[in-house]
Structure formats: C-alpha cells, structure tokens
Amino acid sequence: MRSRAVFYLLPLLVCLAVGCQRIRIEKSYKMEAQAVQLLGVDPPAYQQQVKVTVEPVSAGVKAYLVKEVDEKIAQDALGSEKEPRADIVLGSCGSDEARPYSFEATIPAKTGYTVLLKTATKGTDVKVTIVGK
C-alpha cells in the first residue's frame, strides 16, 4: 500500500521540485466608461507562459500585461488616453467591439505582473481569466 502512495505522490513532488506553477485566476468587473482596472499577479518562481482571456459583455475593452514595476507608467498612459509604451508591454490585445479575445505572454522568473483593462466610451461587465503553465 505504501508503494502505491509513493507512486502517486512522486509526480507531484517532481513537479514541485522543478517548478511547475500552474495558475488559474478568474475575475469579473463592472467597469464604467473610460475606466482602468488593474489585476495584479504574484511573481512566478520560474519563467512562465500565461494566456489572458478577456470577455466583455456590452462594449469593447483593451487589455495590457506589464511587469509590476511598470504598472504606474502604463496606468498613467491609459489615464491620459494614450497607449502604454511598447517597451513595457509584455502582451496586449483589444477591440472596440464586445467580443472575447485572448493573448499570450512570457513572464520572467520572479517578476510580478499586472493586467490592465481599459474601456472606451461605454461601460461594460468584463470577465478576465489568466492561465499559466
């Protein structure tokens, strides 16, 4: 019986030892027109590939993924109705229409990151999902 337990626990221990860091974050927001919403994520121990899916209900939403250290710069740009600088954006996508979309980005090891959402001239409910491998 003990050998069975070791057999089932061994893959889990190997995964923890080499740094498997699967994440799945789902958040829903009610956003006003021309609003910016932030979703911060803790740093992964190792480089991580993430997929961000944004599902707006009634209006377009743009999304930007930046390192945590660049969050303020990106937020200030969006607050001034400008796009964040390309050199600080790890991934982005968006639409002026209410349709779901996804994008992928690579997160460096030990680097916190933030997803910033920006609505245009109309408010909307929006669901954001971040899945990391």
Domain enclosing residue 90, as ranges: 21-132
In-domain check, residue 10: no
Q: Are 63 and 103 in contact (CB under 8 A)?
A: yes
CATH number, domain of 46, equals: 2.60.120.380
**CA-CA-CA-CA torsion sign (26, 30, 34, 35):** negative
In-domain check, residue 6: no
In-domain check, residue 15: no
In-domain check, residue 71: yes
The residue type of 106 is T
In-domain check, residue 102: yes
Phi, psi of 56 (to 5 degrees): -80, 150
Task: Write the pLDDT tens digit of every residue in 80-96.
Answer: 999 999 999 999 999 88
Task: Write the pLDDT tens digit of every residue in 5-31.
Answer: 544 554 544 444 445 579 999 999 999
Whole-model pTM: value is: 0.84
DSSP for 64-121, written as a single string: EEEEGGGHHHHHHHHHTT-PPPGGGEEEEEE-SSS--EEEEEEEPTT--EEEEEEE-S
* Structural domains counted in the chain: 1
